[in-house]
Each structure stands twice: as structure tokens, then as C-alpha cells.
Amino acid sequence: MTRLAFALLALVACGKKTENKAAAAATEITVAAASDLMFAFKEVGAAFEKQTGKKVTFSFGSSGNLAKQVENGGPFDVFAAANVAFIDEAIKSGACDPATKAMYARGRIVVWTKTGGAAAPASLVDLKDDRFKKIAIANPEHAPYGKAAKQALEKLGIWDAVQPKIVFGENISQTLQFAQTGNADAAIAALSLALAAKDGTYLLVDDALHAPLDQAMVACMHGTSFELAKQFTAFVSSEAGHAIMKSHGFLLPGESMAKSK
């Protein structure tokens, strides 16, 4: 076989690989999502896959850390944060499309305690009690739920009293795990995660004690399929998506605590 023939075959093979890669890109997306979405978005993803036949892969973490990955060109099709500010930062960096920005939920925080551990608090102020030796919150520097937890403790005037007990989780999922494994006596965590946690109880924290956990999402530029990314964000905001989010304890955009009762 001549060199020219080999070159032509190589070119055809390369073309087929490119076509196959493009085909794969059109059937799968990757979503960078805040850890509080772990259970809700897995259900949303399954419903989206059933409806469209398209696969969704998730990468969960703290909103701040995910935002840095997105801004640095991480291969994500969608970024769903636990605070709209991180979405705005990702858009400002040029990594995501401002026209696709959408609010999708408002999160809520709870105090979670393990059954058989320290007696559950009757109020947030009870965390000052000596029975709580360690209290887990997500790192407020990059986790919106941790920032909300700190704000609530500060507003009640007990931050200075409980600060020596505080242990920081890298994200809100790890924060809850600290209490589940007994490495903390209580965790201020996301309601969406507490609802799925076994062998424990939770106290809902008044959302007037902290800034709203308004959660937003956006389609990004460095993924495999921008069009499919927009389909996914639309599904999250659809009636079916809203029903799933509500079942996991989230308020919908514009919905107040009073309306949700």
C-alpha cells in the first residue's frame, strides 16, 4: 500500500473518530452542582434522562470551589450554585452565558443531630450548651450554607460563644457527615440533605436569621453540548423539575416560607 493510501486511510479514521466524538458530545452533559443538590439533582437527572434519552453526569462540591473550576475552563456544561453570586462570577469570567442564567430554588438550613448522640436542640441558641462539644458548619469562605450558618449564629449573638466548637466541612455534604459519623455533636446543614439522612433529627432554622440562599444555574462554554445544557436547565425549571425540587425541601423562586406551608 502506498504512503498516499495510508495517509487517506488515516484521514478517514480520524474523521470517523471526530464524528463519533461529536455524536457522544450531543448525548451527554456534565453538571457542576452544589453539594446540597446531591439527592435532588440525581432525581432530576434520572427524570431528564428518561424524558430525553440524554445522559447527565454530576460533579458535586462547594459552590466556591466549583466556581473556580468553571472559571478556569473546567469541562462543565451547566453550573448550579447554592448562591447566585457564584453564578455571577462565572458569567463575569466569560465561562458561562449570561442569557441562560436562571434562579431555580431557595435553600434552607437546619441543625441536624444524630439519634443516640447529644440531645437535639430546641433552638439554635442551645448550641451554646456544654453537651455540644463540636459543631460542624460548611466553610463560610466558599460554601453558601456555611456562610448562612455563621450569619444565623451571629444574628443571635452566639457566634463568639460557639466559635471554639466549630469544625469546618469542605462542603455541606461533608459537614453533615461529621455529625452522622459522630465527629461532631451537631451540624448546621442543608434541609435537602437532612431529609435524606437516616438515624437523626433536625431543627429548621428561621430563614430570617440569614441572607436568602437564592440558588441559580447557568449554561457554560467549555462543556460538550451547549444546546443540551440549555435543555437541562429548562427541565430543572419545568413543572416536573419544580416538583422534584420541592420534594427535597427547596422553596421555588419567589416562594416564601409562608407560601410553602
- Reported as a single tens digit per residue, the pLDDT across 42-64 is 999 999 999 999 999 999 999 99
Q: Does 119 fall in a domain?
A: yes
Q: For the domain that residue 197 is a member of, what is the CATH number?
A: 3.40.190.10
* pLDDT computed for residue 261 by the predictor: 44
Confidence of residue 20 (pLDDT cuts 50, 70, 90): very low
What is the bridge-based pairing of β-strands 28-34 and 78-81? parallel
As a whole number of angstroms, the distance between CA 108 and CA 212 comes to 8
Do 58 and 131 share a domain, yes or no?
no
Do 11 and 42 share a domain, yes or no?
yes
* pLDDT computed for residue 88 by the predictor: 97
* pLDDT computed for residue 255 by the predictor: 77
Confidence of residue 256 (pLDDT cuts 50, 70, 90): low
Per-residue pLDDT at 8 exceeds 70: no
* pLDDT computed for residue 26 by the predictor: 66
190, 172 contact by CB (below 8 A): yes
Domains identified in the chain, total number: 2
* pLDDT computed for residue 254 by the predictor: 78
Q: Does 67 fall in a domain?
A: yes
* pLDDT computed for residue 105 by the predictor: 97
Confidence of residue 33 (pLDDT cuts 50, 70, 90): very high
As a whole number of angstroms, the distance between CA 26 and CA 223 comes to 10
* pLDDT computed for residue 6 by the predictor: 42
Helix (H) or strand (E) holding 195: none
Domain extent, residue 124, equals 109-204
Tens of pLDDT, residues 168-216: 999 999 999 999 999 999 999 999 999 999 999 999 999 999 999 999 9
Do 18 and 142 share a domain, yes or no?
no
As a whole number of angstroms, the distance between CA 15 and CA 28 comes to 20
Do 173 and 249 share a domain, yes or no?
no
Do 198 and 227 share a domain, yes or no?
no
Do 155 and 36 share a domain, yes or no?
no
**Mean pLDDT, the chain, integer:** 90
Q: Does 209 fall in a domain?
A: no
pTM confidence score: 0.86
Do 45 and 88 share a domain, yes or no?
yes
Confidence of residue 27 (pLDDT cuts 50, 70, 90): confident
Per-residue pLDDT at 91 exceeds 50: yes
